[in-house]
Amino acid sequence: MPVIHPTAIIHGRAVIGSGVAVGPYCVIGADVHVADGCEFLSHVVVDGRTRIGEGCRIHSFAVVGQPPQDMKYDGEPSELVVGARTVIREHATLHPGTERGGMVTRVGNDCLLMATTHVAHDCQIGNHVVMANNATLGGHVRVGDHAIIGGLSAVHQYVRIGPHAMIGGMSGVERDVIPYGSVMGNRAHLSGLNTVGMKRRGIGHDEIHVIRQAYRMLFESEGTFADRLAEVAEFYTDNERVIEIVRFIREATQRSICTP
C-alpha cells in the first residue's frame, strides 16, 4: 500500500502503485501514473499526462509534467515518460512534449538529474544519463545512453548528444556531439574523446586505441571531411563503435557536429 502524508494532495483519478511514499505537501495531478516503489519527498509537483517508472525518487520542489515553455503549445494532450529508478533532485523541471515534436518527452532508466536541471519539451534522453547541477536542455534535444551533461551547461534545441559523450561544465552546445566525444567551451568545441567515461563503462584499452585512431583520421587528417568520413567507414567497417560514430554523423539533420 502507498504511504501518503496527510498534507499531500492527490487527485482521485491519479494511479499510484504499491509501496509508493508521498511526502508532505506534494501535489499529484489527475492524469499521473506512478509505478511501484517510488518516493516523493516534500513539496513535489507532478502534473499533466505523466508516467513515473518503478523505483524513482523525486526530491523537494521538483516540478514534473507542467505545461512546456513553448509559445506554440496549445494544450494538446502530450506526455512525459520517466523511466525506472531515475532520481530527480531539488528544483528540477521536466516538461511534456508538443504536437510539433512527437507529443512525448522521455527520460530513460537509471538517470540522475541533479538540482535545478531542466528537460524541455520533446527531449529524448537515454538510460544512465547524468545531468549535473543547473544543466539545461532546449526542446527536441536527444541524449544517448551514458552521456554526462556538465554543470551550468546549456544545450541548444534540436542538438544530439551521442552515447558516452561528455559535456564539460559551463559549455554552450550548439552543434551535435559525436558518440564517445568530449566537448567544452562557449561555444563548445570537440576537445577529444571521453576516455575516462569509456574506461568506466568497461571499454578496454585496445578498443579505446582503435576509436582514437579513427578520431584522428576523421579530424586530424588531410582532405575534405566527407572523404575522411568515407575512409573511416571503409577502413573500420567491422568495428561497431567506430561505425556508430560514422552513422551518427551521417544522420545529422538539424545541426552540424562539434569539431575540434
Catalytic residues: 121-122, 139
Question: Given CA atoms 200, 206, 210, 215 in this order, what sign does their dihedral have?
Answer: positive
- Contacts with 169 (C-beta within 8 Å, 6 or more apart), sequence order: 132, 150, 151, 152, 153, 184
Rounded distance between C-alpha atoms, residue 208 and residue 202, angstroms: 10
The distance of Cα 85 from the centroid of its chain, to the nearest Å, equals: 15
Q: Are 201 and 217 in contact (CB under 8 A)?
A: no
Q: Name the grid cell of 33.
A: 501514473
Report d(CA 122, CA 105) in Å as an integer. Answer: 4
C-alpha cell at 27: 501535489
Per-residue b/e over 142-181, b at no fewer than 16 CB within 10 Å? bbbbbbbbbbebbbbbbbbbbbbbbbbebbebbbbbbbbb
d(CA 259, CA 189) in angstroms, rounded, equals 6
Place of cell 549535473: 132
Residue 143 forms beta bridges with which residues?
A: 125, 161
Torsion from C-alpha of 54, 59, 61, 65, nearest 10 degrees: -20
